Amino acid sequence: MLPTWIRHHLAALRALLLFTVLLGVVYPLAVFAVGRVPGLAAKADGSVVTVEGRVVGSSSLGQSFTDADGKPLRQYFQSRPSNAGDGYDPTASSAGNLGPESVVDSTEAPSLLTQVCARSKAVGELEGVSGARPFCTPGGVGAVLAVFGDRAKDGTVPRPTRVVSVNEQEGVAKAPFAATYRGVRVELARVGEDYAKGLVVPIKGDAPARPAVPADAVTASGSGLDPHISPEYAALQIKRVAQARRVAPAQVAALVRNNRTGRALGFMGEPAVNVLTLNIALDRRFPVNGAD
Amino acid sequence: MSNDVAGIVFVGSLVLALAVVYRPLGDHMYRVYAGTRHARVERVLYRLIGVRPDAEQGWAAYARSVLAFSAVGILFLYLFQRVQQWLLLSLGFDAVKPDQAWNTAVSFVTNTNWQSYSGESTMGHLVQMAGLAVQNFVSAAVGMCVAIALVRGFARRKSAQLGNFWVDLVRGTLRILLPIAFVGAVLLIAGGVVQNFGGGDVVRGLGGGQQVIPGGPVASQEVIKVLGTNGGGFYNANSAHPFENGTAWTNWLQIFLILLIPFSLCRTFGRMVGQNRQGYAIAAVMGVIALVSVGLTAVFQALHHGTVPVAVGAATEGVEARFGVVDSAVFAAATTLTSTGAVDSFHDSYTSLGGMMTMINMMLGEVAPGGTGSGLYGMLVLAVLTVFVAGLMVGRTPEYLGKKIGAREVKLAAACFLVTPLLVLTGTAAAMATESGRAGMLNDGAHGFSEVLYAFTSASNNNGSAFAGLTVNTVWYDTALGLCMALGRFLPIVFVLALAGSLARQGHAPASEGTLPTHRPQFVGMVVGVTVVLVALTFLPALALGPLAEGIHS
């Protein structure tokens, strides 16, 4: 007779092996089998979409519609920014994970604020609207100062001795976004200098609180594979896509409506436009001849 | 419909759905655990396992069975990952490295599902479905076993027995988790969640670039991930990944499944102690805390205070377009109020105060409604502490459900409560004091501290979600967080079972005029108060250094 504690573990091992067979093999295979019925099979296999018999992607997974250099293809609606690998890489689904006060660029990577500002500027230029946003410089980086000097009781620096625009570097930016701050001349940042001792002060500026470039166009999704954009971002892109395809914007707008989903049951989630299926519909209805 | 109204309807519909299933599911679970008849397949299983199903166990034997089953689970899962390169469906991945395999094994056996690995680039299909997903089932079932054993402690009189762990384990798995999981998995497939054994086909996208379409038995694992309040995603992006959570309604369904068993177990508790109103009282405590927390999280996110959210115009960083900010906030609250830890949006990029709410939810001890089973036993421990505090106020011997709460009971309950704060605070302090601990931070300043505090809070409370910027795939974090998960799970379980044993031995003290009624709003309010005050006293200083320092400014 084995000691009790060994018998306990033998029972545990046998239980685990039985559960492994039942829950780890039989159950997933049973779900797989049910997933083979018509109507479910296409979804269980990844909702792939084909163009002329060739699989071009999945309607559930977003894609980049850019050229080899990463420049947006003007004839296609653009997806949101992505942090999955080099962009929309399903082998590396990921979010950016920078926080709400990530405002100072480091030598390795830009802050989340600068990413937002740069995207806003780029989208604004592509779509022919203003890319201005609160807390952004006209050059498309975070408008953030490091303010040096004695701190008051509330933590502010009432009489600064030195002010540096930390995200604008000498040699890259010509002049800081603000000439002076509380009477002190604003300097450009120099490579290698450490401004950690200064008080970080983001400057809101006078850009409208609701910028022309919508929120989802300047933020990455959680998965990096978001297949959708907001109806606002789609609306912003209609003019440019219509121009590239030499059709009337109203015709493109009709296709956008066809690829728009409302809230599920009227209250779940938010309205969204599927970018891949929209672009496929565009190619079918208004083909572009040759590469643009 | 505006976003705000839609969000309110979204929460309201969840409350309604949970209220509708509360009685039928709670009654079903009561019959599962209180029934004396064994199904034929169960008899076969007992014979194969080698246990006598009608022999009951005292608390020590019950605890030994829990620990033995868990220890074997950790060892098995560790070895499984270490040899995956030689197995079927490995997708060409190497063996998981030792520290990460240890961390992952502990993580899944403790119902935490903290993931220092990225699913799509580390784990083959076989390890996922026959290793990780199996623990998703049985770790949830173990939590329910412990909760039921504690309830039996309250319900029984002058008994040395708490039931049979193996019977509770088998029944909870086969009669509760498996049927719901199967139906849920099929629903998820209908919502675009994949279920195949493909290895990732490469396709050429419309723009000319190449893209891999990943595969995997995802739906079968996804459903138990939420139903068992586990939280470990098949892919790195977890429930934000379109192949795990493809539509706004699957998002609703996942939140519903997360909250389903933890809330309904209150009914089971009420039935077992013979007073349904006691179940309603506990459910009310959970409901009040949960609604306030969900509301605050959603409001903080919708108001999008903070530099980057104001620059953007909304807190959409790390949020999927199909879910939107409000529904994502509801998911974030639900996943941290329970021990789930699945995420459909990334908490690291939340507003400072929205992110703080997710931490506070976990710091509450994950009791509103908490994990499958672990939520109920955590909340009952708090109820015991509450009657003790109330007894001190009026100078009478405290009683709960006819059981005297004496020195031994209070010591066990207090010890149970103190485990996680001790792990969270010492763990965070150790990380901040060491080079290896600090090196993991992605963000700097207060937010970097929040990442570390979040990690230890999540691991010690067996949640598993993260401020995911923190680099945790290092020997230091794999080891430290693995220890936190193991101690945070098994120490409270042992204390709870000891408490159950001590309660079961007692007779029944008849209610007198001095007995505090434990089914009235007054008691509900007191338990809520004790829960919140204990947490505020314990964690406020730490929160002040992190999210509060970051979030409170003009």
Domain boundaries, chain A: 59-96+225-292, 145-200
Q: What is the Cα–Cα distance from B16 to B20, expressed in whole angstroms?
A: 6
Please give the pLDDT value at position A290: 52
- Only one residue has tokens 């083909």, namely A287
Q: Which residues of A touch B322 (CB under 8 A)?
A: 226-228, 261, 269-270, 272
Question: Mean of the pLDDT values across residues A112-123?
Answer: 98
Q: Check CB contact of A158 with chain B, cutoff 8 Å.
A: no
Q: What is the Cα–Cα distance from B306 to A238, expressed in whole angstroms?
A: 32
Nearest to B313 by CA among B261, B274, B351: B351
Residues 6+ apart with CB under 8 A from B356: B450, B543, B546, B547, B548, B551
Please give the pLDDT value at position A1: 66
* Integer-rounded Cα radius of gyration of chain A: 26
| B118-128: pLDDT as tens digits | 999 999 999 99
Of the partner residues B190, B243, B309, the one whose CB lies closest to the CB of residue A100? B309
Reduce the DSSP state of residue B62 to 3 states and report it. helix
- Residue ranges of alpha helices (H) inside chain A are 4-21, 27-34, 41-44, 112-127, 215-218, 231-245, 249-258, 275-285
Which one of A2, A7, A14, A60 would you mutate to disrupt binding with B, by most B Cβ within 10 Å of its Cβ?
A: A60
Q: What is the Cα–Cα distance from A111 to A102, expressed in whole angstroms?
A: 5
Q: What is the Cα–Cα distance from B21 to B27, expressed in whole angstroms?
A: 10
Yes or no, beta carbons of A40 and B246 under 8 Å apart:
no
**H or E stretch at A163:** strand A162-169
Q: Go through B335-359 and write b for each residue having 16 or more CB atoms within 10 A of its CB, e for each that does not.
A: bbbbbbbbbbbbbbbbbbbbbbbbb
**Cis status, amide bond into B217, omega within 30 of 0:** no
**H or E stretch at B309:** helix B307-312
Residues 6+ apart with CB under 8 A from B8: none
B553 pLDDT band, cuts 50/70/90, is confident
Q: What is the Cα–Cα distance from B539 to B511, expressed in whole angstroms?
A: 37
Phi then psi for residue B233, to 5 deg, are: -75, 150
Residue type, A278: L
Query: Smallest CA–CA separation between B274 and chain A, in Å?
Result: 32
Q: Check CB contact of A110 with chain B, cutoff 8 Å.
A: no
Structure tokens at B387: 């009657």
Of the partner residues A44, A64, A92, the one whose CB lies closest to the CB of residue B196? A44
| B4-49: pLDDT as tens digits | 999 999 999 999 999 999 999 999 999 999 999 999 999 999 999 9
Question: Mean of the pLDDT values across residues B378-398?
Answer: 92
Q: What is the Cα–Cα distance from B452 to A218, expressed in whole angstroms?
A: 27
Q: Which residues of B touch A80 (CB under 8 A)?
A: 321
Query: Smallest CA–CA separation between A57 and chain B, in Å?
Result: 6
Residues 6+ apart with CB under 8 A from B404: B397, B398, B506, B509
Yes or no, beta carbons of B134 and A23 under 8 Å apart:
yes
| B494-552: pLDDT as tens digits | 999 999 999 999 999 888 887 889 999 999 999 999 999 988 889 999 999 999 999 88
Q: Is B315 exposed, middle or buried (0-12, 13-18, 19+ CB in 10 A)?
A: buried
Question: Mean of the pLDDT values across residues A252-257?
Answer: 98
Q: Which residues of B touch A208 (CB under 8 A)?
A: none
Please give the pLDDT value at position B536: 86
Query: Smallest CA–CA separation between B369 and chain A, in Å?
Result: 23
Question: Mean of the pLDDT values across residues B321-339?
Answer: 97
Please give the pLDDT value at position B554: 59
Yes or no, beta carbons of B321 and A73 under 8 Å apart:
no
| B53-90: pLDDT as tens digits | 999 999 999 999 999 999 999 999 999 999 999 998 98
Q: What is the mean pLDDT of chain A?
A: 95
Please give the pLDDT value at position B150: 98
Q: What is the Cα–Cα distance from B133 to B140, expressed in whole angstroms?
A: 11
Q: What is the Cα–Cα distance from B213 to A88, expressed in whole angstroms?
A: 11
Q: Go through A56-69 and write b for each residue having 16 or more CB atoms within 10 A of its CB, e for each that does not.
A: bbbbbbbbbbbeee
Please give the pLDDT value at position A291: 45
Whether residue B141 has pLDDT greater than 60:
yes
Please give the pLDDT value at position A107: 86
Structure tokens at A44: 């269980």
ipTM here: 0.96
A292 pLDDT band, cuts 50/70/90, is very low
Residue pair A113/A123 in contact by the 8 Å Cβ criterion: no
**Most distant CA pair in chain B, distance:** 79
Structure tokens at B102: 């240890």
Which residues in chain A (205-244) have CB-CB distances under 8 A to chain B?
Answer: 209-211, 214-216, 218-230
Question: Mean of the pLDDT values across residues A112-117?
Answer: 98
Of the partner residues B45, B182, B217, the one whose CB lies closest to the CB of residue A18? B45
Q: What is the Cα–Cα distance from A177 to B110, expressed in whole angstroms?
A: 53
Please give the pLDDT value at position A182: 95
**H or E stretch at B78:** helix B59-82
A160-165: which pairs have CB atoms within 8 A and are 24 or more residues apart? A160/A184, A162/A187, A162/A198, A163/A187, A163/A198, A164/A188, A164/A189, A164/A195, A164/A198, A165/A137, A165/A189
Of the partner residues B191, B220, B320, the one whose CB lies closest to the CB of residue A223? B320
Whether residue B104 has pLDDT greater than 90:
yes
Of the partner residues A27, A45, A91, the one whose CB lies closest to the CB of residue B212? A91
Strand partners, A55: A50
* Integer-rounded Cα radius of gyration of chain B: 23
Q: Go through B119-157 and write b for each residue having 16 or more CB atoms within 10 A of its CB, e for each that does not.
A: bbebbbbbbbbbbbbbbbbbbbbbbbbbbbbbbbbbbbe
B396 pLDDT band, cuts 50/70/90, is confident
Residue pair B261/B372 in contact by the 8 Å Cβ criterion: yes
Residue pair B363/B293 in contact by the 8 Å Cβ criterion: no
- Residue ranges of alpha helices (H) inside B228-273 are 248-272
Strand partners, A185: A180
Please give the pLDDT value at position B434: 96
Phi then psi for residue A120, to 5 deg, are: -65, -40
Query: Smallest CA–CA separation between A103 and chain B, in Å?
Result: 7
Q: Which residues of A touch B298 (CB under 8 A)?
A: none
Please give the pLDDT value at position B515: 85
Whether residue B298 has pLDDT greater than 60:
yes
A258-262: which pairs have CB atoms within 8 A and are 24 or more residues apart? A260/A231, A260/A234, A261/A228, A261/B322
**H or E stretch at B5:** helix B3-34
Nearest to A15 by CA among B45, B412, B486: B45
- Only one residue has tokens 């429930």, namely B239
Residue pair A100/B349 in contact by the 8 Å Cβ criterion: yes
Please give the pLDDT value at position B414: 96
Q: Which residues of B touch A209 (CB under 8 A)?
A: 310, 313
